[in-house]
Amino acid sequence: MKKTYIASCHCGNVRVEADVDLSQGSGRCNCSICSRKRNWSVSVDPQDFRLLSDEAAAGDYQFGSMSAHHRFCKNCGIHVYGHGYIEEIGGEFRSLSIACIENITAEELAAIPVQYVGGRGDNWWNPPKVTAYL
């Protein structure tokens, strides 16, 4: 069942709202950027994602195929959300950093299913052999 979550950066300059069913799972990836920022995110249908702050407050980082935008607060540096277009995962997407969700309980966090993704080495469709560090 979808629930409305509010997420923000540390200083509050970047805020989003999203309707998400966390029981559908989340992702942790071992690619170069996800492992460095310890990313744990959930996919959000684009129509269920709302930016509550001025878009100018968020910086934009892209690399590689340039198909994903990693959005972060220009003031405190926290990565709150992402967006882009990748045909292999269904086209247009939004993602939300679970660590940035304000209105979530410890019990909800513990119950979120996690799918591990082998982004390192472009092995996207298979989990890495070791996941404990993710």
Angle (nearest 5°) at CA 39 between 113 and 115: 25
- Is residue 106 very low, low, confident or very high in pLDDT (cuts 50, 70, 90)? very high
Hey, what CATH class is 3-117 in? mainly beta
Nearest to 7 by CA among 17, 71, 83, 106: 17
- Residue 105 in this model has a pLDDT that exceeds 80: yes
Q: Is the model more confident about 125 or about 14? A: 14
Q: Percentage of the chain with pLDDT > 70?
A: 100
- Whole-angstrom Cα distance, residue 82 to residue 71? 5
**pLDDT score for 73:** 98
- Residue 65 in this model has a pLDDT that exceeds 90: no
- Whole-angstrom Cα distance, residue 84 to residue 10? 23
- Whole-angstrom Cα distance, residue 128 to residue 11? 34
- What secondary structure does DSSP assign to 7-21, as a single string? EE-SSSSSEEEEEE-
3-state secondary structure 54-118: CHHHEEEECCCCCCEEEEEECCCCCEEEEEEEEHHHCEEEEEEEHHHECCCCHHHHHHCCEEEEE
Partners of 76 in the β-ladder: none
Q: What is the pLDDT of residues 32-55, one digit of tens each?
A: 888 899 999 999 999 999 999 999
CB 50 within 8 A of CB 4: no
- Residue 124 in this model has a pLDDT that exceeds 90: no
Q: Any idea where the domains of the chain sit in the sequence? A: 3-117
**pLDDT score for 111:** 97
